[in-house]
Chains A and B, each alone.
Chain A
Amino acid sequence: MEENITPRFFGRLKMILDRYEVSILSLVLSIISVIAFVFYYQNGLGLAYNDARSHLDIGRRVVEGLSPGFAQLGSVWLPLTHLLMTLTVWNDFMWHSGLAGALWSMISFVGTGVLIHLFLKELGVGRVGRLTGVFLFAANINILYLQSTAMTELVLLGTMTAAAYFLLLFYTRGILSFLILSSFFVMLATLVRYDGWFLLFFSSLMIFFSSFKEGGYRKAEGRFILFATLGGFGVFLWLLWNLLIFGDPLFFAFGPYSAHTQQQDLQSAGMLPTKGDWFLSAKMYFYALAYNTNAWVLALGFVGTILLFLDRRVSRNARFASLALFAPLFFNILALYLGHSVLFIQGLSGDTWFNIRYGIMMMPSVAIFAGFLMERMAGIRSVLVGTLALVFFFQFSSADAVTIDDGRVGSSQKNVTEVSTWLREHAGGRDGYILISAASHDSIIFSSGLPMKRFIREERGILSPRD
């Protein structure tokens, strides 16, 4: 018995999908995002990271405290996410639920999902490949968790993926405005995390070399200046900020609270084994990558990468532009090698996790490459879908997410329940101030639930508060 399902039905379905695909995708991603946030809010994991609470406090100090103002943005962490938080963090619920920060992660989650879709479309990938790419990104529990927190990862992923996407558009369509858009998102990325600075360097090099090959030095110089001026504006502003507020443009890099200083402490304690060791740096990051992105998805992404760069059906320019997707990989290995970054992987470097979330930085790239593989392996697509279904089934049934473990039991967590409860019970109903070193105890301030203006921190020292 054979039946034909009418072409009309499929024609209409196709028309709807063609017209509203991005809108439908955005809606679905938004729903997923909200559900994930509510889930992690209700089980309390959304604020598990010590850093998440610190980010929220920094944002809050800009609008509330003994001396509110932009100077509270500090010197070490880059300011964009904190600035964005200030729009809502004045509200106690938004502050203490973490939503003030998570909101931007959630928006970035939706945006990155859409960008993966658009990137694949620009590479000539069909609907199944595009949706697979988005699925691999959006169904990753580490991504779902981090987008539910006030951490900076998703905002960085969003801005970096946008930069890479517009760079691809520039290379495939040759329109200069896409280069400007790309540099704008690079600039945003440089104001989120230092990973963005490497992207600025990497993509500027790409622009210079490709333009040099295309039209010689003059063209390369012109495009490089165009790209790097806007792209590097955030870096310039940050150096200026450090100079104006702290008296040293490199205060963020070498100041007492900088990562550099922390890493020096770790090194003297013998806990920075990747420094000066390329192999170990690459191995550590590879493990972080595999644990975050899912080893099977990573394997598919790897095969997809090979196919993409060998595929002559994709223009040489598009393939060249796709190199930007590797910037996080190079950056993280380099940072580990130089000792500017530290990563603990349970079983590989001791018995705990720390900063394992750095491995998530390649997730959009891996999703794009795996989506491309799905397109090119159309004949065995059902096999790939089946294997992914198997792996994702067990990922969800075992609730496997290394980033949650790091925040729950790894070195990225800080359980301050006892001290913050004591503080609330003993200082909550009384007048006066609490002297605290916020640099290492921001989470106590946050968890105590007391107003920010009750705390006297480092920068005011023993000075009497004006108010």
Chain B
Amino acid sequence: MKYSRLSIFLFGFVCAIALLFSVRGLPGNPTAQELVTPVWKDHGPLELSPERGRFALLYSVVEDRSLFFSLPVARLATPDLARNPDGKFVSLFAPLLSFLLIPGYLIGKFFGASVVGATLVVAIAAFANAFLIRAIALRLGAGKNAASLGALTFLLATPAFPYATTLYQHHFSVLFLLSAILLLLSNRGFLSLALVFFLLVSGIALDNPNAILFLPVGLWALSRILSFRTSDTESVRVSFRPLLLFSGFFAVIPLLFFLWYNSLANGNPFTLSGTLPSVVAISSDGSPLSTDPNQIPRDRLEREASEKTAVGFFQTRALLNGFLIHLTSPDRGALWFTPVIFLGFFGFAVLFVRKEYGILRVLLGTSLLTFLLYSLWSDPWGGWAFGSRYLIPAYAMLSIGIAIALESRKRSFIFLAAFFLLFSFSLSVNTLGAITSIANPPKVQVLELEALSGKEQKYTVMRNWQALEQNTSTAFLYRSVLHRFFGAIPYGVSLFIFVVVSAFLFLYALLRESSFPSRRV
């Protein structure tokens, strides 16, 4: 087998094994009444409300044929539940993810594991993302080994890993983003541009802030239709390709879907789900409550039941705290959860020096917009979460940077060694999250939580280690089969060793490339 094929096979194999052995779930096709039990909720695959909220819409659409939640489904979605102007319970989230998960849910249901089936759709998106990062890095001049390492970094050494195993929207956002970038890098034709616009607008129906995060790619795509270039003679050359303008019509399809959903569920095509009054709990008689007196304040850092606007969620006063939370805080900071990702800036510097400004603007612009937008967000912690989940699109961009940096610095043993050390550390942290839990409280809630629970509460990755020590794992394969043969710690350690050895093989091959450039493997 030629090395290139072996390389891609090994790469795919590592990604697939890591995802399969960590994807969450329990066997069975639970009903809405069963889903609110602790087996599925607090200690199960739907431990947090964003997962339950999205699953609730999926369940309601498939099982009840309705966008409005029945009382059991509404109870499942709390506290991330909304009430529309007609007083009906609806989802607080943008709808697209729930619809995208339907095929997986149905297939899973057929095999008697509906939640696993739905979760596997997210894992497949994550798997595709790894290949997309690899492909983009290759197009930007990285070799196969460097590109594979960049992609492995994103998938397994950042909080993208734990979020590849559960029902969150982040991997689909990244999928749309990376697909659009790859299309724009590879093709200048009408169809690819049409698909780009389709993907970008779909992203808004997936997660509303994508309207801002996708702007750099959107502007890049628009520059294919209309562009301005200055020349030395101080004239401006305007280039306009009117035919390509029609590619924008493909964006209408997801837009119509989004407006249709908003109109039906939220009562107005332009009312976003997140701006509806939220229902934090439901009383025993079925009436909505805006506060939950019985529940610890998990899942709700920022809940105003009324006067919500899309813009009102973002405040510049929050910026400094947001920066610190995303970068350095022990409960979410990238410095603790994925320090390897900072090497991506070396790659951006390489692009800057090479004057490859077009793609650099997209990669850096998306990273910075993600970082800034969610630093402006009044809840930068992302509720109970593992690492800074909001930064997952930025991790994807920076992973491309890592591939480029590895390629350009492959002769520097120190750089490669630093990468491997940081990669191993980041991998260990995120493997812990992937196979245990993503429900880590923010530090600001810990004292309140300790008072309620009467015991010490950890808020860093040590909380996940504690879970592993207690032989707890949420991984479907472990919970359903492998727990009979392994403890949770050997299970996690085996997974870690498998990935780290694979990554070392790629790194070794990269090192060999630099030692014997003529015999590039």
Q: A380-B352, A394-B376 are in contact. Are A6 and B317 (CB under 8 A)?
A: no
Query: A439 contacts which chain B residues (CB < 8 A)?
Result: none
Residue pair A391, B319 in contact (C-beta under 8 Å): yes
Nearest B residue to A388, CB-CB: B372
Tell which of A4, A287, A291, A395 touches B235, judged by Cβ atoms closer than 8 Å: A4
Query: B365 contacts which chain A residues (CB < 8 A)?
Result: 380, 382-383, 386-387
Distance in Å: Cβ of B315 to nearest Cβ of chain A: 4
Tell which of B235, B320, B372, B375 touches A5, judged by Cβ atoms closer than 8 Å: B235
Query: B235 contacts which chain A residues (CB < 8 A)?
Result: 4-7, 10
Tell which of B212, B241, B319, B352 touches A379, judged by Cβ atoms closer than 8 Å: B352
- Per-residue 0/1 for A369-389: is the Cβ within 8 Å of any B Cβ (1 yes, 0 no)? 000000000011011001100
- Per-residue 0/1 for B314-353: is the Cβ within 8 Å of any A Cβ (1 yes, 0 no)? 1111011001000000000000000000000000000010
User: Which of A292-300, A412-420, A426-434 lines the interface with chain B?
Assistant: A292-300
Tell which of A3, A10, A299, A394 touches B315, judged by Cβ atoms closer than 8 Å: A394
Would you list which residues of chain A between 1 and 37 have a CB under 8 Å from chain B?
A: 1-7, 10-11, 14
User: Which of B11-19, B300-308, B355-363 lines the interface with chain A?
Assistant: B355-363
B233 at interface, CB cutoff 8 A: yes
What's the Cα separation between A287 and B320 when bound, in Å?
A: 8
Would you list which residues of chain A between 360 and 410 have a CB under 8 Å from chain B?
A: 379-380, 382-383, 386-387, 390-391, 394-395, 397-398, 400, 402
Residue pair A3, B238 in contact (C-beta under 8 Å): yes
B515 at interface, CB cutoff 8 A: no
Tell which of A2, A6, A391 touches B316, judged by Cβ atoms closer than 8 Å: A391
Distance in Å: Cβ of A293 to nearest Cβ of chain B: 11
A290 at interface, CB cutoff 8 A: yes
Distance in Å: Cβ of B313 to nearest Cβ of chain A: 10
What's the Cα separation between A1 and B365 when bound, in Å?
A: 29
Residue pair A3, B237 in contact (C-beta under 8 Å): yes
Would you list which residues of chain B between 358 and 397 have a CB under 8 Å from chain A?
A: 360-361, 364-365, 368-369, 372-373, 375-376
Query: When A and B form their complex, what is the total count of cross-chain residue pairs whose Cβ atoms lie within 8 Å?
Result: 95
Q: A379-B355, A379-B360, A386-B365 are in contact. Are A398 and B233 (CB under 8 A)?
A: no
Distance in Å: Cβ of A402 to nearest Cβ of chain B: 7
Query: B316 contacts which chain A residues (CB < 8 A)?
Result: 294-295, 391, 394-395, 398, 400
Residue pair B319, A380 in contact (C-beta under 8 Å): no
Nearest B residue to A386, CB-CB: B365
Query: A380 contacts which chain B residues (CB < 8 A)?
Result: 352, 357, 360-361, 364-365
Distance in Å: Cβ of B451 to nearest Cβ of chain A: 20
Nearest B residue to A393, CB-CB: B311
Query: A402 contacts which chain B residues (CB < 8 A)?
Result: 317
Nearest B residue to A347, CB-CB: B321
Q: A290-B320, A398-B316 are in contact. Are A1 and B234 (CB under 8 A)?
A: no
Residue pair A296, B364 in contact (C-beta under 8 Å): no
Nearest B residue to A346, CB-CB: B317
Distance in Å: Cβ of B227 to nearest Cβ of chain A: 9
Query: B323 contacts which chain A residues (CB < 8 A)?
Result: 295, 299
Tell which of A2, A7, A294, A387 touches B233, judged by Cβ atoms closer than 8 Å: A7
What's the Cα separation between A125 and B46 when bound, in Å?
A: 55
Residue pair B319, A295 in contact (C-beta under 8 Å): yes
How many interface residues does chain A have, given as a range? 20 to 34
Q: A390-B373, A395-B316 are in contact. Are A382 and B361 (CB under 8 A)?
A: yes
B240 at interface, CB cutoff 8 A: yes
What's the Cα separation between A294 and B369 when bound, in Å?
A: 16
- Per-residue 0/1 for B229-255: is the Cβ within 8 Å of any A Cβ (1 yes, 0 no)? 000011111111110000000000000
What's the Cα separation between A379 and B351 when bound, in Å?
A: 10
Query: B233 contacts which chain A residues (CB < 8 A)?
Result: 7
Residue pair B238, A394 in contact (C-beta under 8 Å): no
Residue pair B317, A398 in contact (C-beta under 8 Å): yes
Q: A14-B234, A394-B315, A400-B315 are in contact. Are A386 and B216 (CB under 8 A)?
A: yes
Query: B242 contacts which chain A residues (CB < 8 A)?
Result: 1
Residue pair B320, A383 in contact (C-beta under 8 Å): no
Distance in Å: Cβ of B123 to nearest Cβ of chain A: 32
Query: B311 contacts which chain A residues (CB < 8 A)?
Result: 394, 397-398
B215 at interface, CB cutoff 8 A: yes
Nearest B residue to A6, CB-CB: B235
Q: A3-B238, A5-B236, A294-B319 are in contact. Are A390 and B361 (CB under 8 A)?
A: no
How many interface residues does chain B have, given as a range? 35 or more
Residue pair A398, B236 in contact (C-beta under 8 Å): no
Q: A1-B241, A7-B235 are in contact. Are A390 and B319 (CB under 8 A)?
A: no
Query: A397 contacts which chain B residues (CB < 8 A)?
Result: 311, 314
Nearest A residue to B365, CB-CB: A383
What's the Cα separation between A391 and B323 when bound, in Å?
A: 13
- Per-residue 0/1 for B200-235: is the Cβ within 8 Å of any A Cβ (1 yes, 0 no)? 000000000000100110000000000000000111
Query: A3 contacts which chain B residues (CB < 8 A)?
Result: 237-238, 240
Query: A7 contacts which chain B residues (CB < 8 A)?
Result: 233-235
Residue pair B314, A383 in contact (C-beta under 8 Å): no
Query: A391 contacts which chain B residues (CB < 8 A)?
Result: 316, 319, 372, 376
Tell which of A5, A382, A386, A398 touches B238, judged by Cβ atoms closer than 8 Å: A5
Residue pair A386, B317 in contact (C-beta under 8 Å): no
Tell which of A1, A4, A295, A379 touches B357, judged by Cβ atoms closer than 8 Å: A379
Residue pair A383, B361 in contact (C-beta under 8 Å): yes
Distance in Å: Cβ of A383 to nearest Cβ of chain B: 4
What's the Cα separation between A7 and B232 when bound, in Å?
A: 10
Query: A394 contacts which chain B residues (CB < 8 A)?
Result: 311, 314-316, 376
Nearest B residue to A379, CB-CB: B357
Tell which of B237, B319, B368 touches A2, judged by Cβ atoms closer than 8 Å: B237
Nearest A residue to B242, CB-CB: A1
Query: A6 contacts which chain B residues (CB < 8 A)?
Result: 235
Query: B375 contacts which chain A residues (CB < 8 A)?
Result: 295
What's the Cα separation between A457 and B314 when bound, in Å?
A: 48
Residue pair B320, A11 in contact (C-beta under 8 Å): no
Query: B239 contacts which chain A residues (CB < 8 A)?
Result: 1-2
Residue pair A1, B236 in contact (C-beta under 8 Å): no
What's the Cα separation between A296 and B316 when bound, in Å?
A: 9
Nearest A residue to B368, CB-CB: A387
What's the Cα separation between A379 and B368 when bound, in Å?
A: 16
Residue pair A4, B234 in contact (C-beta under 8 Å): no
Q: Which of B215, B316, B317 has the most CB of A within 10 A?
A: B316
Tell which of A4, A14, A299, A400 touches B317, judged by Cβ atoms closer than 8 Å: A400
What's the Cα separation between A397 and B316 when bound, in Å?
A: 9
Distance in Å: Cβ of A127 to nearest Cβ of chain B: 13
Would you list which residues of chain B between 229 and 285 have a CB under 8 Å from chain A?
A: 233-242
Distance in Å: Cβ of B355 to nearest Cβ of chain A: 6
Tell which of A10, A294, A400 touches B236, judged by Cβ atoms closer than 8 Å: A10
Query: A294 contacts which chain B residues (CB < 8 A)?
Result: 316, 319
Query: A387 contacts which chain B residues (CB < 8 A)?
Result: 365, 368-369, 372
Query: B320 contacts which chain A residues (CB < 8 A)?
Result: 287, 290-291, 295
What's the Cα separation between A5 and B216 when bound, in Å?
A: 26
What's the Cα separation between A10 and B320 when bound, in Å?
A: 41
What's the Cα separation between A398 and B376 when bound, in Å?
A: 11
Residue pair B238, A2 in contact (C-beta under 8 Å): yes
Known: A379-B360, A391-B316; 8 extra A-B contacts, CB below 8 A, are A295-B319, A295-B375, A379-B352, A383-B216, A383-B361, A390-B376, A398-B314, A400-B317
Instruction: Give me the interface of B with A, judged by CB distance under 8 Å.
Output: 212, 215-216, 233-242, 311-312, 314-317, 319-320, 323, 352, 355, 357, 360-361, 364-365, 368-369, 372-373, 375-376
Closest 10 CB pairs of A and B: A295-B319, A379-B357, A295-B320, A395-B316, A383-B365, A400-B316, A398-B315, A290-B320, A5-B236, A7-B235
6 A–B contacts, CB within 8 A, in A order = A10-B235, A11-B234, A379-B355, A383-B364, A398-B312, A398-B315
